[in-house]
């Protein structure tokens, strides 16, 4: 049997990241609190934690884009704003997204809504 195309396999893998966070059709909420991602997070230093959180953020965002989601809420928490600011910087690398603070009545000030635009033709 023929080997599957790497691009297709990569897309299928990417799509699985966002699927576990889906709330409704084409929407998801992703909690980036380190304790929701890693059991033994106390073993990690702050740089490792941030690296893991940003990596998971990127995988979920790319998965959402590949799977035609139109909104993903990322819960970054309040803290010192390091993760929030890093996410905002990363989002500038994605021309097909725009973002705003998530509704405070639902998430407080610790979340960001990322809206994804999908162009029919390039």
Domain ranges of the chain: 6-102+112-116
pLDDT in tens, 2-12: 544 444 545 55
Per-residue confidence (pLDDT) for residue 14, from 0 to 100 = 52
CB atoms within 10 A of CB 112: 22
The residue ranges of the chain whose pLDDT is under 70 are 1-15, 120-122
* Structure tokens belonging to residue 120: 């029919």
pLDDT reported for residue 122: 47
Cα gap 105→3, rounded to integer Å = 49
- The confidence score (pLDDT) of residue 13 equals 55
Q: Look up residue 118 and give its two tokens.
A: 């999908």
Q: Return the pLDDT at 7.
A: 47
pLDDT recorded at residue 58: 96
pLDDT value for 97: 97
User: What is residue 71's three-state secondary structure?
Assistant: strand
User: To 10 degrees, the CA torsion angle through 78, 82, 86, 87?
Assistant: -10
């Amino acid at each position: 049997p023929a080997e599957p195309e790497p691009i297709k396999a990569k897309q299928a893998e990417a799509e699985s990241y966002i699927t576990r966070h889906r709330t409704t059709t084409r929407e998801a909420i992703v909690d980036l609190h380190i304790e929701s991602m890693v059991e033994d997070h106390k073993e990690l230093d702050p740089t490792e934690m941030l690296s893991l959180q940003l990596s998971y953020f990127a995988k979920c965002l790319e998965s959402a884009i590949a799977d035609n989601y139109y909104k993903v809420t990322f819960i970054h928490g309040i803290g010192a704003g390091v993760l929030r600011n890093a996410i905002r910087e990363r989002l500038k690398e994605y021309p097909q997204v725009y973002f705003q603070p998530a509704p405070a009545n639902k998430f407080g000030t610790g979340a960001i809504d990322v809206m994804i635009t999908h162009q029919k033709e390039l």
